[in-house]
Amino acid sequence: MTSNVATIKLEEGQESVTEIQTYLETFNKEIEGGQGEQLQHVQLQQVEGLSGGEEGGTYFVDQSGQYYYQASNDETPVMTQVQIQEVEEADVQNEGEAPQEEQYNEIEELENVDGDEDGQVTNNGNNQVVINSGDAYQTVTIVPSDTNPGEVSYVLIVQQPDAEDKESRPVEREATEGEEGEGEQDLTVYDFEDNEDNEAPVESEAEDDKTKIIKFLPKKSQTVTQAHMCNYCNYTSPKRYLLSRHMKSHSEERPHKCSVCERGFKTLASLQNHVNTHTGTKPHHCKFCDSAFTTSGELVRHVRYRHTHEKPHKCHECDYASVELSKLKRHIRCHTGERPYQCPHCTYASPDTFKLKRHLRIHTGEKPYECDFCQARFTQSNSLKAHKLIHNVGDKPVFQCELCPTTCGRKTDLRIHVQKLHTSDKPLKCKRCGKTFPDRYSYKLHSKTHEGEKCYKCDLCPYASISARHLESHMLIHTDQKPYQCDHCFQSFRQKQLLKRHCNLYHNPSYVPPPPQEKTHQCPECERPFRHKGNLIRHMAVHDPESSLQEKQQALKMGRQKKIQIIDGQRIEVMTGYEEEEEDEDDMMAVEGSDGQQYVVLEVIQLADNQGTDQMAVVASEDGDLVMQDPLSQESGIVTGTGEEGDEAEEEEIEIDQLKMEPGTPNKSSSQNTQSDPKLQKEMETCFGFDEEEEEEEEEANANINILQTIS
C-alpha cells in the first residue's frame, strides 16, 4: 500500500473563502441526492506554545478540542490527529529532526508535491487537492482564515473508491461491506511521512451511514489509532460502541415507547428511567434523606451537596471549594474577569450562558414570571418572589434593626437603613444644645427631646420658641422691623402671612374666607368642646387654681416693650415700646383702669351675652396691648393669644396690633372692623380662632374678664 500525498497550493488571490464555500455548497447539493453525505468542515486553530521541537512541527486544535500535528520536515504536509499526551511524546521524540520555519499555516509552503509513487495529487483549481490514493481518491480543501492568520479551515472529502477498486483496499471494503452504495464516503487522513510503518492504513469500520472513519497513522513512536467520527458533530471515538452510544443522541428515532403515556425514547435505559417516573421508582436511594436517583453518580453527587458537603475542588485564590470541577471553573471567572458571552444588543458580556440568557430578556421584553394574584409580570423569578410578599402581609418577613425599633420588609432595605441612620463618618452636632451624636438615628432621637421644648430663648424678654425661625421673627418686635410691605397701601407687617391676609381682606374683593372648623377639642374635666386646642389649654387653667398662665403672659408683654437697634452688629437698646406707642397714639383718649393701669380708649363697642347687651370699650393699655374693658367696672381682659405655642401667641398679638392701625380706619378697633365687615369677622374666626361663641362661653367662665381668644 502506498502512502498518499497531499499537495496543496493556494495561489495568491485564490484564498477566496466565498469561492470555496460556493463550491462546497454545490458539491453538497450534488451528493445530497445520494446518501446525504455532507462535507466535513473542521476549523483548526494553531496552538501557541506547542511546537515540534527542532523538528519544527506545528500543532493545531479543532473546535472539539482534538489536536492535530503537522510536521514541518516532511516533504509533504501531513496532519496527524493526536492525543495531547501523545503530542508531548512526539515532541520529545522528534527533536532535532526538522527545522521549525516550515509552518503549516503558511500556505505558500504547501506547494504541490508529489507523494510516493502510488499517490497522485492534483489541484482542481478550487483550492482543492484531489488525492488519488491508489484506487480511491480524496479531496482536501484548505480554507485559510481571512481574519486570523493562525487559523486554517479544512474540508476533507474522501470519495468512495470504485467498485472494482475495492479489492485494492480490502480493509476498507470490509468496513463498508453492505453499505457500499454510490457516494459512500470514508474520511481518511494519512500520515504522508515516507515511513514504511505508515504504508498500510489500519482498518476501520463505519458505524452506519451517518459516521465516517478517520484513520490516523501517528508519527513514528505513536501507535496506530483509528477514530470513529460522528457525521453530525465533531465527536470522534476510537471505539465503535462509544460512537454508537453517541449517535443515539443525534437520532430523532425513539423506538422505545412507554406503555403508559406513549412517549418514545431513544434508548431502553432512557425508557426505563421514564417508566420509573410513572412508577416512582428510582433505584439509587440516599441513605441520609428520601431522595432517590436514576444513577449512582447522581446519588453520590447529591450526598456531597446535601449531606457530607465534601468539596474536593478548591480555589487557589480564595476559600471557595466546590463539589464539581465545573463549578470551580465558573468560580475562577470571578477572579479572572473573563466574560465570554457577549450580548449582541449591548455591551454587556456575561461570565456564563445563564446570565446572558437572563440579560437578554431586557431586550426581548420577555417576562416569564407572572404573579398569581395581580398578573404582574417579571423578568426574574426572584423579582416575582419579592413581589408576592406584598400580597401576603401576614407572612411578610420582618427584618428588625438591632440598633433601633425600625423594621424593614427586606434585608437590603434594612441594610440601607443601618447605613443611613446608624453609620456616620463624623459625629452630628445638635444645633440646639450643642451635643454631639455618633449617628443620624441617635441625633434624631435626641432632637425629639427638644420637641415642645422652647429652647430658643429671647435674651430681651421671657419669650422662648421651639425654633430659631420663630425666634428670628420674634426679634422683629424688638428691632421694630416690619419687612413685609403692602403694595397697595402703606401698611407693613412683620410676617409674610400677615401681609397676605391683609391683602386678601382689604385689597382682594373676590376673597372668600374658609369655613369655620368644628369643635373637636373637649375638656376632660367639664367636657366643654373647643374649636381650637389653644382655647382648651387656656381653659384648663380654670380647673387649675395654681395656674400661672396669666402671670407669664403679663411678664411676656412687659418684656416685649424692649426695643433695640442693630448698628454695625452691635445691639443698642433704644426705648421701650410703651414710650414709642404713646408717641404714635398720643391723640387717643387715656383712661385709668381699676388696676391703676393707663389705657387708651379706641372705641366703645357692644358685646352681646346671654343676659343682654353689654357695652364694652376696646382700649389700648399703656403697654400697648389691646384690652376689652367694661366701662362700668373698668375691669379689663388682655387681648392676647394664649395658643399652645408662644410663637402663635406672638403672631396673634402682632395681628391685633396691625388691625387697630388699618388704613382708612384710624384708631378703629379690631372689634369694630370685624363687626362691620362680615368677611373679616369670619376670617378672624377661622384663621385666628376668633370664636364669638367660645368667647361668650369664656365670658361666663371668666366673669367680667373678656378675652379675645386666639389660636391658629
Residue 690, judged by CB atoms within 10 A of its CB (0-12, 13-18, 19+), counts as: buried
User: C-beta of 121: minimal distance to DNA in Å?
Assistant: 32
User: C-beta of 609: minimal distance to DNA in Å?
Assistant: 39
Q: What is the largest CA-CA distance in the chain?
A: 150
* CA end-to-end distance (rounded Å), the chain: 116
Query: For residue 361, how many other CB atoms are within 10 A of its CB?
Result: 15
The answer to whether residues 36 and 76 touch, using CB atoms and an 8 Å cutoff, is: no
User: C-beta of 175: minimal distance to DNA in Å?
Assistant: 13
The answer to whether residues 55 and 49 touch, using CB atoms and an 8 Å cutoff, is: no
User: C-beta of 173: minimal distance to DNA in Å?
Assistant: 19
- Nearer Cβ to DNA, position 375 or 611? 375
Return all residues near 479 (Cβ < 8 A) that are at least 6 apart.
563, 564, 565, 566
- Nearer Cβ to DNA, position 415 or 552? 415
The answer to whether residues 437 and 443 touch, using CB atoms and an 8 Å cutoff, is: yes
Dihedral sign (CA 9, 12, 15, 19): negative
- Nearer Cβ to DNA, position 307 or 543? 307
User: C-beta of 446: minimal distance to DNA in Å?
Assistant: 13
- Nearer Cβ to DNA, position 323 or 659? 323
Strand 626-629 to 636-638 pairing: antiparallel
Return all residues near 556 (Cβ < 8 A) that are at least 6 apart.
461, 462, 463, 646, 649
The answer to whether residues 247 and 208 touch, using CB atoms and an 8 Å cutoff, is: yes
- Nearer Cβ to DNA, position 187 or 708? 187
- Nearer Cβ to DNA, position 209 or 603? 209
- Nearer Cβ to DNA, position 212 or 528? 212
User: C-beta of 687: minimal distance to DNA in Å?
Assistant: 16
User: C-beta of 204: minimal distance to DNA in Å?
Assistant: 13
| C-alpha 277 chain-centroid distance | 40
User: C-beta of 94: minimal distance to DNA in Å?
Assistant: 23
- Nearer Cβ to DNA, position 374 or 549? 374
CA angle 232, 235, 236 (to 5 degrees): 120
Return all residues near 310 (Cβ < 8 A) that are at least 6 apart.
304, 323
Residue 598 per-residue DSSP state: E
Question: How many angstroms separate the CA atoms of 29 and 38, rounded?
Answer: 9
User: C-beta of 607: minimal distance to DNA in Å?
Assistant: 36
Q: What is the dihedral of CA 118, 123, 129, 133, to 10 degrees?
A: -20
> What SS3 state is found at 400?
strand
- Nearer Cβ to DNA, position 164 or 402? 402
Question: How many angstroms separate the CA atoms of 376 and 486, rounded?
Answer: 56
- Nearer Cβ to DNA, position 241 or 511? 241
The answer to whether residues 438 and 446 touch, using CB atoms and an 8 Å cutoff, is: no
- Please report the beta strands in 217-278, taking only residues with DSSP state E, as ranges in sequence order: 225-230, 236-237, 256-257, 264-265
User: C-beta of 432: minimal distance to DNA in Å?
Assistant: 12
- Nearer Cβ to DNA, position 354 or 511? 354
User: C-beta of 378: minimal distance to DNA in Å?
Assistant: 4
> What are the angstrom distances between the C-alpha of 610 and each of 695, 696, 699?
12, 8, 10
- Nearer Cβ to DNA, position 379 or 576? 379
Q: What pairs with residue 58 in β-bridges?
A: 51, 70
User: C-beta of 360: minimal distance to DNA in Å?
Assistant: 8
The answer to whether residues 694 and 625 touch, using CB atoms and an 8 Å cutoff, is: no
